[in-house]
Amino acid sequence: MTDYRLIYFSENRLPLGQLAAELDAILDKSRQNNVLVGVTGALMFSAGYFVQVLEGEQGAVEATFERIQQDSRHGDVQLVDFSPVAERTFSNWSMAYAGRREDASDELDAIGTKSGFDPSLLDGHQLFDKLKSRLLEAA
Ligand code: FAD
């Protein structure tokens, strides 16, 4: 069965004070759900944006993304890429967090005035590379 990779970014809608705790809750729930349907991937948070990669069978990735899009903890969800891949990149992670926990509690980074990170300026490959390098930095 061919695996697919989906990449999106979205805007945070959580108050900054709740962000770190909600991020933990999102990761816990993601790991529980994703392992049941064979979805793997990685999530990062930077400068008020989430960037996420989901990998797995087409139907499982689509169903997961449908649920994620309904979530009021973020908004303006922008699909960047959804394509078949020869192999998964995050096969060992039901949902890796690609970043430092402090990113989520660093108010300047959360607002976006410090890093200047703007995912709308990057294409799918660039976002994917950013996630991978963040994951390596965090390891
Ligand atoms: P429940 O956890 O029982 O939730 C029921 C409903 O309540 C859902 O509609 C849920 O969205 C909503 N809900 C639950 N908690 C909150 C809350 N604190 N604030 C607002 N609404 C809430 N889920 C995955 O399965 N895999 C992922 O990879 C994944 N990645 C995510 C990435 C981001 C950036 C965000 C914001 C969410 C992500 N989620 C992911 C969570 C997803 O959006 C759903 O909340 C979750 O999948 C619902 O799980 P459930 O069906 O077991 O329902």
Q: Which amino acid is at 41?
A: G
CA–centroid distance, 43 to ligand 1, in Å, is 14
Provide the residue ranges of all domains of the chain, joining segments of one domain with +: 3-138
The pTM (predicted TM-score) of the whole model is 0.90
For residues 35 and 98, the model is more confident at: 35
Q: Model confidence over 85-111: pLDDT tens digits?
A: 999 999 999 999 987 666 566 555 555
Say if residue 42's pLDDT is above 90. Answer: yes
Instruction: Give pLDDT tens digits for 48-87.
Output: 899 999 999 999 999 999 999 999 999 999 999 999 999 9
Spell out where the chain has E strands: 3-12, 40-46, 49-57, 74-85, 96-97
Q: What is the pLDDT of residue 107?
A: 54
Residue 115: pLDDT band by 50, 70, 90 thresholds?
Answer: low
Atom of ligand 1 nearest to the CA of 32: 25
Domain 3-138, CATH: 3.30.70.100
Nearest CA to ligand 1 atom 51: 67
Pocket test for ligand 1, best of 9, 18, 71, 77 (most atoms within 8 A of CB): 71
What span, in angstroms and rounded, lies between the C-alpha atoms of 24 and 117? 22
pLDDT at 105: 60
Secondary structure class of 96 (helix, strand, coil) = strand
Q: Is 78 helix (H, G, I), strand (E, B) or coil?
A: strand
pLDDT higher than threshold 90 for residue 14: yes
How far, in Å, CA of 49 to CA of 61, rounded? 21
Q: Is the pLDDT of residue 139 over 80?
A: no
Helix (H) / strand (E) element for 70: namely none
